Amino acid sequence: MRIVVLAGGIGGARFLLGVRAWAENHHQVTAIVNTGDDLVIHGLRICPDLDSVMYTLGGGADPERGWGRRDESWVVKEELARYGAEPTWFGLGDRDIATHLIRTRMLAAGYPLSAVTEALCQRWKPGIRLLPMTDDRVETHVVTGGQAMHFQEWWVRHRASLPAERFVFVGADQAKPAAGVLDAIAEADLILIAPSNPVVSIGPILAISGIAEAVRGGNAPVIGFSPIIGDAPVRGMADRCLAALDVKVSAEGVGQMYGARSAGGLLDGWLVDSVDAETEVPGVTVLARPLWMTDEAETARMVADAVALAGLAS
Ligand code: GDP
Ligand code: CA
């Protein structure tokens, strides 16, 4: 079976561990990853979500921090601080910087991000195919107090404390899906939407012209996983993002935001946690099962539930 997963960073990475465990070596998995969080710092191109997925699946992620490399050191960061170099709010570790140096050099030499990602994955061997959503530049901006700022500045520097009026995916309408993205969707037997942030992780992917249309119009069943359990995100500040869109912070709110494929939305099935068993999304089959990604085996079980919900035999 060919499985395509739409994913953000840390939540997406944890979910993909489970997808890979479920698939073992019998099924092909392609992840289409958000790049709206990307930024250039000290001249280096950083792709936080791609790196979270690549390091996590490659066994190189820091388990406590959730982002960046394990066994990291911070000498470059300290030296930059001594120069008074801005910005200081985005931490880049020494090991991590090597990834960004290679990426930036390859991009400058003319390679598209999809090819750069493939090259980086030769080292990390994530066991699945990793694709950026686009090879073009797209940046998520947050409008707060009538002014736009880069998503990372809002999220990391201000800890999402400034009220968001709206999110703008700058460049998304001109951006094309990265090489391989539309083919992967067209050839998929199953499409999974990871329990990633629906607004700023899945939202930008769907904003690239052609991707949502391909998912909606394809033959593969589409099954989503709620990142909200009860009335709060499992981790992080997705509630602050949903508030800007006037979406209720619940499995039902997010499910209804994605909507039924039969009604011009995305979903055929919606996995919600057992505590959210009352969830109703018109036109969508809702299945309530524990959705805590506590370990790989438990996350693989969530994937098995989605496969069954889609009516596919494993
Ligand atoms: P980011 O790009 O690093 O912010 O990560 P993602 O967007 O991929 O994932 C963040 C989302 O994952 C958050 O909204 C969390 O609520 C959700 N999440 C994290 N852990 C779990 C979990 O164990 N279960 C579920 N259902 N959602 C989770
Ligand atoms: Ca992210």
> What is the domain-level CATH number for residue 289?
3.40.50.10680
Instruction: Measure Cα distances from 158 to 18, 45, 82, 155, 164 in Å.
Output: 32, 21, 23, 6, 11
Whether residue 124 is contained in a domain is answered as: no
Cα(169)–Cα(124) distance, integer angstroms: 29
Q: Which residues have their alpha-adjacent CB atom under 5 A from ion ligand 2?
A: 8-9, 37, 49
| Regions of the chain with pLDDT less than 70 | none
Q: What number does the ligand 1 atom closest to the CA of 238 have? A: 14
For a mutational test of ligand 1's pocket, the pick from 201, 250, 292, i.e. the residue with the most ligand atoms closer than 8 A to its C-beta, is 201
One-letter amino acid identity for 272? V
Whether residue 80 is contained in a domain is answered as: no
Cα(60)–Cα(71) distance, integer angstroms: 9
Ligand nearest to the CA of 298: 1
Whether residue 126 is contained in a domain is answered as: no
Cα(314)–Cα(3) distance, integer angstroms: 12
Q: Copy the structure tokens of residue 184.
A: 């992967």
Does 9 sit in the ligand 1 pocket, CB within 6 Å?
yes
Q: How far is the CA of 92 from the centre of ligand 2 (A)?
A: 16
Q: Does residue 14 contact residue 61 with C-beta atoms inside 8 Å?
A: no
Q: Copy the structure tokens of residue 282.
A: 């018109």
Backbone conformation region of residue 127, classed left if phi is above 0, alpha if psi is from -120 to 50, else beta = left
Cα(16)–Cα(253) distance, integer angstroms: 24
Cα(28)–Cα(46) distance, integer angstroms: 27
Cα(154)–Cα(90) distance, integer angstroms: 11
Whether residue 177 is contained in a domain is answered as: yes
CA 171, distance to chain mean position in Å, is 18
Q: Is 142 helix (H, G, I), strand (E, B) or coil?
A: strand
pLDDT of residue 313: 79
**Range of the structural domain that residue 231 is part of:** 2-38+132-137+171-309
Whether residue 159 is contained in a domain is answered as: no
pLDDT of residue 185: 98
Whether residue 144 is contained in a domain is answered as: no
Ligand 1: residue whose CA is nearest its atom 2: 9
Q: How far is the CA of 45 from the centre of ligand 2 (A)?
A: 15
Ligand nearest to the CA of 152: 2
Bridge pairing between strands 190-193 and 232-233: unpaired
Q: Does residue 99 contact residue 86 with C-beta atoms inside 8 Å?
A: no
Whether residue 147 is contained in a domain is answered as: no
Cβ contacts of 257 within 8 Å, gap of 6 or more: 198, 242, 245, 247
Does 49 sit in the ligand 1 pocket, CB within 6 Å?
yes
One-letter amino acid identity for 238? A
Q: Is 248 helix (H, G, I), strand (E, B) or coil?
A: coil
Bridge pairing between strands 228-229 and 190-193: unpaired
Does 236 sit in the ligand 1 pocket, CB within 6 Å?
yes
Ligand nearest to the CA of 227: 1
Does 195 sit in the ligand 1 pocket, CB within 6 Å?
yes
Run of H or E residues at 117: helix 113-124
Does 18 sit in the ligand 1 pocket, CB within 6 Å?
no
The residue among 66, 89, 65 whose CA lies nearest residue 12 is: 66
Ligand 1: residue whose CA is nearest its atom 1: 9
Q: Copy the structure tokens of residue 2.
A: 């060919």
Does 274 sit in the ligand 1 pocket, CB within 6 Å?
no
Whether residue 166 is contained in a domain is answered as: no
pLDDT of residue 66: 82
* Counted domains in the chain: 1
